[in-house]
Chains A and B, each alone.
Chain A
Amino acid sequence: MDSDEDDRIPLSQRPEWSDVTPVPQDDGPNPVVPISYSKEFAETMGYVRAVYLADERSHRALQLTAEAIHFNAGNYTVWQFRRLILEALNADLHDELEFVEHLASKNSKNYQLWHHRRWVAEKLGTEAAGRELEFTKKIFVNDAKNYHAWSHRQWVLQTLGGWEDELAYCDELLEDDIFNNSAWNQVSYAVKAILTKPENESSWRYLRGLYKNSMPSFVMDRRVSTVCLTVLTTKANCVFALSLLLDLLSNGFEPNQELKNAVEALLPESRDQDSDMAVTICSVLEIVDPMRVNYWRWRKKSLHSEVEEGVRNLRVH
């Protein structure tokens, strides 16, 4: 409905609206900050007021709100009314996604638009997740730091799921512009999300991959060890956390007492703990990850040379 002003037929001339009397705006006798409205806008709002006051939740009312929104996408009252109409009509919300998408390019920083989008997506549920993530990606092409789009993306991941590939997407963005703070923020958010699904290997691997060329930063990033600690204390699904911790230790990481305690708590009483935390971890892994028991035994044996090399690398930087 991006029709030229000239193509638009005034509402007063449309037969389907002949039964409605528009309600004019009344600013009062001496308004301040008066705004100069176009005739077309003023007319549209006159009809919107009429249907709003009559609480008419019909198809024509829906179409009218679309016209009003095109004139002024910031009118939160019209958007709210539109939602009431959509509910009353039990409208197909996929069409609604189209409607918002159409407006988005020119209104990408509009609160009402994004709030409305969120409302629609929530109603559609998990099936909408993929499309919502694609939608935000499109916005990022032109504005990689659009605040609303990032908030929306986070809401989608949180509510509708789909964050497995999130770290990979952030990596793409950061490769393009390492200064994109919004992408960095998203990495942090995704790392936190690992806490909710510690059994997903992808994110652990991805986290490692993200830092693969800068092991010292990885070792020193407190958030990484914090993630490990939190997972270990829940005592469930700790294989990846333990494995990551093992790598950190091999690269010169110095664990605090809390971490040491958390690891020791995982070792059954029958087993002796070693003063070397890495050895203890390997012992635990032999038990909790029996499929790879030989691998963990081999890691235990190779520990000394691993640590030496790791610490050497750490010192170089």
Chain B
Amino acid sequence: QSFKFKLCVLEKIHKISWKNLLEISLTRPVINKQATGDGVYRMIGMEPSSSSPEWKPTVSQEEQWILERQVFHIYQLFCNIPPKSQAVMLELQRDNHIEYLMKGLRHLGPSFSVLDAKYFTLSLCALMVRCRNSFLYCHLFTALLLSSRPWICYWILHSIALLGESVDDALEHNAIHFISRCQDQHGGYGGGPGQASYFSMPHLATTYAAVNSLITLGGHRSLGSINRVKIYSFLRRMKHTSGGFSMHDGGEVDVRACYTAISVACALNILDEDLVQGVGDYILSCQTYEGGIAGEPGSEAHGGYTFCGLATMILVNEVNRLDLASLTDWLVFRQGVEGGFQGRTNKLVDGCYSFWQGGAAVLIQRLHAAAGEGHSSVRSNESFTSSEFSDDEELLEGTSSGMAEISPDVEEDGSHLKFFAASTQMVEGGFRDKPGKNRDHYHTCYCLSGLAAAQYSWSKDADSPPLPRSVLGPYSNLLEPINPLCNIVLKQYNEARQFFSKPL
């Protein structure tokens, strides 16, 4: 029988500053936490071991404990509220999220008086400061807000689509028009509009965001605005001798660049041997001894890059070259006691990794499923050039037979949901990294994407609804199904594949 821990101790700690918290934790006996099935944590008091009387926690340990205390406190509160309130907490705050998202599309940042120049600067600085507080990966794709408006478009539009909503005609028209202005005359999309008026070199990340946004909006005008020929030539220009890609002319080469390039090429049906050549070699060289994938050869295994690398390898049909066993092992250990995912070993959990890591786990599940069905290659090459997209669905269709034993089920004990609901979802709309951080569109996008990926991971096929237990929370939490490789809502992705079915 599990028993609840002494809330009074935690309450006292919660009211004290974190420096004092540390002092207290040092003088208290060493505590072991053990997770029980229903999400309640049992604390076992132990005497400090005699072999380390002067034991002092490291920076990593300190940060981890502080976060654990915050999160466990929330869980404890959760356990103590009546079932009706618990149900509310587990529910997706759809209306508030939509309101937050629509507002962002129309007007970014706090509202302020046009007349006050000083306030202009302050609000801008506040925005920039918030951005810096996010983790590395929150900057991974963004060249800071101000050079990456297509990104913000994508985060918002994709989130809206996941919630099953759409934008009104006027907003859609403006979005298409705005994104089109970011298109470079020589191909690709930059961070801002216009060659002549706002200069902005085309960039792979913003191209990915722009293309994904336009596909998410869907429809002839949106899809028709994409110049595939020019984008193809841009991708070819970005190809690097290592087999990877540069983010922009004279830019950095890394696994992100590979993913954004290949994902765009697949979505637009312009992938060919010249683009693919060497990419597998490059990504393989980025898989580390830990099992995860790094940004560059030699760097540390990282969730964001692991998703990028894995997805790319699947898209170019070379995933079996990776050491999937060690990748899987690394991946499952990235889920923390809090329920959420961390980006790297011994770092803190963050809501956005619900997609990067959680999504990668879903991809792995699919691979196991496909292998279980006896497919000779997980993804056939023909789907790159053929007009059929049924091969994609083959990959996306899961089967639960045999999966239980061989694939990592990260959702079974519900701890991911609890983390998601308690620690990342903001009741007033939007999602955040973790308690103590502010909400932003990036986290909103990736927390929702992670949820969507997890919900469909156990579906028998693309058309059937997910099993109730995998929805995470009430069935009303069900999001739209996604193509987990490109992270685009499935319906829109399929529409685009149909639209771009003719090869170049």
Contact = CB atoms under 8 A, between A and B. Distances in A.
Interface of A: 5, 23-41, 45, 48-49, 52-53, 72-77, 80, 83, 106-107, 109-112, 114-115, 118-119, 144-148, 150-151, 154-155, 158, 176-182, 184-185, 188-189, 192, 223
B178 A80 contact: no
21 contacts: A26-B198, A33-B104, A35-B108, A38-B120, A48-B199, A72-B147, A74-B147, A76-B143, A80-B201, A80-B248, A80-B251, A110-B139, A111-B247, A150-B299, A155-B296, A179-B60, A179-B346, A181-B290, A181-B347, A182-B300, A184-B345
A49 B173 CA distance: 27
Contacts of A48: 199
B181 to A, nearest CB: 5
B291 interface: no
- Ranked 4 nearest A-B pairs via Cβ: A74-B144, A26-B197, A179-B60, A177-B58
A229 B195 CA distance: 56
The residue among A31, A48, A53, A114 with the most chain B CB atoms within 10 A of its own CB is A31
Q: How large is the interface on B (under 10, 10 to 19, 20 to 34, 35 or more residues)?
A: 35 or more
Contacts of A34: 107-108
A41 B128 CA distance: 13
Given A74-B144, A177-B60, 18 more contacts: A25-B198, A28-B193, A30-B174, A31-B178, A32-B105, A32-B153, A33-B153, A33-B178, A35-B109, A35-B124, A45-B198, A49-B199, A75-B191, A80-B250, A107-B132, A150-B299, A176-B59, A177-B58
Contacts of A178: 58
A105 to B, nearest CB: 11
Contacts of B61: 179
Contacts of B247: 76, 111
Contact of B191 (A38, A77, A115): A77
A181 B178 contact: no
Nearest to B157: A32
Given A37-B124, A179-B58, A185-B300, A72 B117 contact: no
Contacts of A75: 143-144, 146-147, 191
Nearest to B248: A76
Given A72-B147, A147-B302, A181-B345, A25 B197 contact: yes
B117 A39 contact: yes
Contact of B199 (A37, A41, A52, A110): A52
Nearest to A177: B58
A191 to B, nearest CB: 9
Contacts of A77: 147, 190-191, 199-201
